[in-house]
A and B are shown apart, each in its own frame.
Chain A
Amino acid sequence: MCKSVGFLVAVSCFGQGRPASAELIQKLDITVFADGRGLPVGTGTAAAGRAIYKSKCAVCHNDNGEGREKQYPALVGGIGTLATERPVKRVGSFWPYATTVFDYIRRSMPFDHPRTLGVDEVYAVTAFVLHLNGIVAEGFELNERNLAAVKMPNRDGFVPDQRPDVKAKR
């Protein structure tokens, strides 16, 4: 479908959108890639993140990332449990990239007021969450140059789609 000459004419007649300016793209583009592309210039430590976390995150995730009830996910624990009967999937035990932690905090947190943290605050809270998981030291200065190099414990824990894997007997 839509392969006729008529379609091509229609596209040119009906307009094709307008150019997206560099300013507009910069305003909207919040993707951070696993190699660090997309990270904004900034810096923060777990020590600085502790206070921000306490005032803006602890209400849901609890004082030390232990979570509250099922719907407010815990952020810590679980390292070494993935191959057991009761795996515990948390930031430190399961998330493969530290860039994802930064990206998710920046785009989606705090849950009721996302994208209200400044860039340095996002680095600081990211550092604090990584620190709670024993991944960076409290004074470690996280920034756009070193975040992607932070090695998460489960970095190599993912494999591509293995399906069809289950073979039913007829």
Chain B
Amino acid sequence: MKNRRRFLVFGAGVLAACKKAPDSESGAHMRVYGERAPGETSARWILELSASPGTGSSRTPLADLYGTITPTSLHYERHHSGVPAIEASKHELVIHGLVEKPLVFTMEELRKFPSFSRIYFMECGGNTMGEQRGNTQPDVQRSHGLLSGAEWTGVPLREVLKAVGVKPEAKWMIAEGADAGRMARSIPIEKVMDDALLAYGQNGEALRPEQGYPLRLFLPGWEGNTCVKWLHRLQFADAPAYSAKETAYYTELGKDGKAQIFTFVMEARSVITRPSGLQKIAPGFHEITGLAWTGKGRITKVEVSVDGGKTWAEAELQQPVLPLALVRFRYPWTWDGKEAVIQSRCTDETGFLQATHEELVAVRGSNSGYHYNAIKPWRVRADGMVTHV
């Protein structure tokens, strides 16, 4: 285990940012770029997978958050070859392959197109991978934290493509990042021409380096890996590339030894974020709250069970319920101090109902890993500790 690095990183810089207050009761100076209060320490949980820096994932502290927008500083990350340092003024996007007119765009040129903003969720295709094999994590950050929600701004890719003229024989687009490993994914042309976004903004400001600065592909509702960061090349082709990240990884091995490939959409799913693993509660009133999301449109219903799944009651959904975005649900609960198992399940506009772990494993087996989206039960012990089941 000598090479494994597990870092639990607390809010670095929290203490450093405050200027000394003057000798009066009028408080501190203003700050040109804001920081949270010094006592607020919620942080991402970082799992580095390599001795090389920045390769691995960081997970969103879902249990600490309110509402549906993940603060950019707490948005989850998954990097396959670290975080490159790119200057926006030198970054270019090349579009070539089966197009009438191969073109290069500077960031300045891309920002001149009419802009587009939407609130979307993003989830890693490998979120909760361990749950399927029973390697359950102790808290919701580690089990479900490869999930975040943000407002993304950019230009619809199809508008930029009007300038290059995609040829009819182009069926796929290979998107490549400018990270060290030049990570690449093949995207079907239908998604490209539907709602693919060339994103340069997140939550009102420029992308952070960890989110692909200065440009990333954003594919609403699709697994995070397809939202290629540090985007520098789009190649149109009549076939997919079968890149390493779409064959060796991000494919789902079934019981029969066959693996599903090009599984892009994140199916509907929900999870209770409070109360959740490692929290301790006292008898009395609690608001059970959590998140639901679906890559196939809108969440239509979230149900909560506090009796191990025997009975279900409908939770309140925070309005407005946006398509392809995180949905906050709330359910009032008075805990009587007896051991309880609480869980949520969601339904989306396609009629899809979130299944139990047992129902999922019966169909997919234990080795598909990616796109596991079963119900997550939490046990509330008689002493108030919340644990995984």
Contacts and interface: CB of A to CB of B under 8 A. Distances in A.
B41 interface: no
Interface string B350-379: 101111100110011011000100000000
B359 A158 contact: no
For B94, B109, B263, B265, the residue with the greatest tally of chain A CB atoms inside 10 Å of its CB is: B94
Contact of A100 (B4, B242, B259, B267): B242
A31 B246 CA distance: 13
A32 B102 CA distance: 19
A157 B260 CA distance: 9
B282 interface: no
A97 B163 contact: no
A95 interface: yes
Interface residues of A, number: 62
Interface in B81-129: 81, 94-96, 101-106, 109, 112-114, 116
B1 interface: yes
A71 B50 contact: yes
A114 interface: yes
B200 interface: no
A63 interface: no
B1 A69 contact: yes
B347 to A, nearest CB: 9
B34 to A, nearest CB: 32
18 contacts: A20-B95, A71-B3, A71-B4, A82-B257, A83-B256, A94-B259, A99-B242, A100-B242, A100-B243, A100-B244, A104-B248, A107-B181, A114-B180, A161-B261, A164-B267, A166-B359, A166-B360, A168-B356
Interface of B: 1-4, 49-52, 81, 94-96, 101-106, 109, 112-114, 116, 156, 159, 162-163, 174, 176, 180-184, 232-233, 235, 237, 239, 241-244, 247-248, 251, 253-265, 267, 345, 350, 352-356, 359-360, 363-364, 366-367, 371
Given A11-B162, A108-B181, 14 more contacts: A1-B156, A10-B113, A18-B103, A20-B94, A25-B94, A29-B235, A95-B247, A97-B247, A104-B243, A107-B181, A108-B183, A162-B260, A163-B267, A164-B352
